[in-house]
Each structure stands twice: as structure tokens, then as C-alpha cells.
Amino acid sequence: MPEGPEVRREADMIARAIQGHALTDVYFGLPRLKRHRKSLVGATITKVTTRGKALLIFFDTGGVLYSHNQLYGRWYIAAAGSQPGTNRTLRVALTTTSKSALLYSASDISLLHAEEVERHPYIMKLGPDVLSEGLSWRDIGHQLLSKPFAGRSLSALYLDQSFVAGLGNYLRSEILFAAGVNPKARPNTLERRKVNELARATLMLSVRSYKSGGVTNDAATVKTLKKLGATKSRYRFAVFGRDGEPCYRCGDIIERETANGRRVYVCPSCQRV
């Protein structure tokens, strides 16, 4: 499933294509949404943003298109009126004079009024967004040590959107490794110094992934691996998907475990705490 950084990049792509332009045509594939078509033709997109893994498209009419890709949904950009070659089912098409933004396969789609956004059942449950501009590592440190979260395992917290929204499975492995903490650890058993390190890594790796298109490995290692001719799939992660291979930091062999129903990758030497 795409995580916060991937969804935010999708929002940026849609904004570059259609933000600031009036819609010349609108299509909804789901019967329950078809009645909204008329109200959106002629509307202008004012903002495209994300909350956790939800994507929000704001219109100057006060309407907001909410969509969550879950496992299958995907946005494409095409020349106005044309469609990419895909067997997927078209669910939304927002067309301006030059471009179409097309959402395929997703089913969690609704049209809200701007004042309803905060009351949407998914958005209501979200914690602070890891990519929100005002968020500092101290805010994340505060979340880690707050009552609902301090006694829970990090492996559970880093999949829980009410802890910090936008995190997900690859970020969980990468952040815990970068901070040198074990997925089984709980914030209230860590030294304060370690909690701060974890909070900083949470913010830093999420932003790095957003800016780099999914690369969370540290810059020096990426540079070395690129020089050796490594492809993105080889240099992208420090531990995620690298079970059986040596840790870039210490040389020990990365292990794959299952925690909270999802795979997590750990260096047994770097993540003892």
C-alpha cells in the first residue's frame, strides 16, 4: 500500500496538472457519485493535499473530493480527454482544457463539503500528519510519550494512523533501524535520548522519502551504491526487503520478522535496544 510520501507525491502530480484550472468535464464511475457531476463542471481546483493516506482535492465551489487508494487505487495524468492503456476501472475523471486527472480502481471516494472534511470517519481518527508543514520532531516525541502510545510496542505504533498519520510498513522498518531501536521496544522503556532520536528519524525519513521518491537509505550509502552501479531497488532501503543481506552499518545479516501482521526487517546488532 502506498504510504504518506507516495500519496503526497500523487497529490503534487495532480496539482501540477490541473490546479488553478476550471474543469471542462467531470466523470464519476460509481453510481452514487454521478449526481455530483453537474456541480463540478466549471469549478476550479484550488488545492490538492493529503491527510495520512487520503487525498483531498478542493474546489472553489466549497466541495472536496476525498479518495483513499487502499490497495488498488491509482491516479494517472493524461492529455485532456485521453486515457492510458489500462485494464483498470475508471472511477473519476477531472478534465481541464489541457489535462485529465484520472482515478482508477479505488472505491473509497466521496464528495464532501469543506466543513465536513474533519468529520470524515477516516480523517477524524488520524494523528498529526508526518508531512504537515508545522510538525516538528518534538511533536512526535510528545506523541511517543503520551498516554495512549507510550506503553505500546513500536511495531504497533508505526502502523497506527492515530499515532502519526502517513507512516506505513516500509517506513516502520526504515525508521526503527535509523534510530537503532527494536520493533518490540516501547517508548516508556527507552531512554529519553533514544526517544528523541526516534522522533527525529521519524520526521527525517518521511520527508526524505517524500522528496526523493521513496529513498530512505542514508545519502552516503546511496552515493556509494550508485557508484557501484546499483539500481534504485537495490539502494532505496537500508533494511526493508533486505533479509539475508549484510547491514550497511555493521555487516551483520538483516532478519525478517512478522510484527502486527506485517513484515518488519531488523538488524540484530544495530537494533538491540
Residues that bind Zn ion (CB under 5 A): 247, 249-250, 252, 267, 269-270
> Whose Cβ is closer to Zn ion: residue 118's or residue 252's?
252
Known catalytic residues? 2-3, 53, 262
Around 143, how many Cα atoms within 13 Å sit in the side-chain half-sphere?
25
Instruction: Name the minimum Å distance from CB 152 to Zn ion.
Output: 25
Q: What Cα–Cα distance (Å) separates residue 216 from each residue in 17, 23, 62, 130, 144?
A: 27, 37, 37, 15, 21
Instruction: Name the minimum Å distance from CB 230 to Zn ion.
Output: 18
As a whole number of angstroms, the distance between CA 208 and CA 219 comes to 10
As a whole number of angstroms, the distance between CA 101 and CA 85 comes to 14
Instruction: Name the minimum Å distance from CB 249 to Zn ion.
Output: 4
Order across the sheet with 54-59: list the strands.
45-51, 54-59, 63-68, 108-113
Name the CA radius of gyration of the chain, rounded.
20
Three cell numbers, residue 156: 504497533
Instruction: Name the minimum Å distance from CB 264 to Zn ion.
Output: 15
Query: CB–CB of 225/170 below 8 Å?
Result: no
As a whole number of angstroms, the distance between CA 103 and CA 117 comes to 20
